[in-house]
Amino acid sequence: MDNVISKSKFKPHALKYFRYVEETGKELIITDHGKPTLKIVPFSEDPLESLKALRNSVIKYEDPTAPVGLEDWESLK
């Protein structure tokens, strides 16, 4: 089953898609005229559970106000 579906296809089979999200744990994105409008995600008792995927993914900047990419500008060479 695809994780993106249009509103018109979702409406008559909503329970089937709800069960799909419950059983697989995957999110379902619903579109309206090709644009994503809704996301159905499985419920989690622990709200911090979804943040565990982000753990150790933050980059630390020593000097966040320093210019970025100065070596990429040809005019500065």
Cα–Cα distance measured from residue 22 to residue 19, given in angstroms and rounded to the nearest whole number:
5
Task: Give the HSE-up count for residue 16: Cα atoms under 13 Å, Cβ half-sphere.
Answer: 9
In this prediction, residue 5 carries a pLDDT of: 94
In this prediction, residue 76 carries a pLDDT of: 63
Query: How are strands ordered across the β-sheet holding 4-6?
Result: 4-6, 28-32, 35-40
For 3-41, how does the pLDDT look when each residue is reduced to its tens digit (9 = 90+)? 999 999 999 999 999 999 999 989 999 999 999 999 999
Contact 40, 17 (CB under 8 A): yes
Q: Report the CATH number of the 4-66 domain.
A: 3.40.1620
More confident of the two residues 16 and 77: 16
What ranges do the domains of the chain cover?
4-66
Cα–Cα distance measured from residue 50 to residue 41, given in angstroms and rounded to the nearest whole number:
11
Which DSSP category does 18 fall into?
H
Average pLDDT over residues 73-77: 68
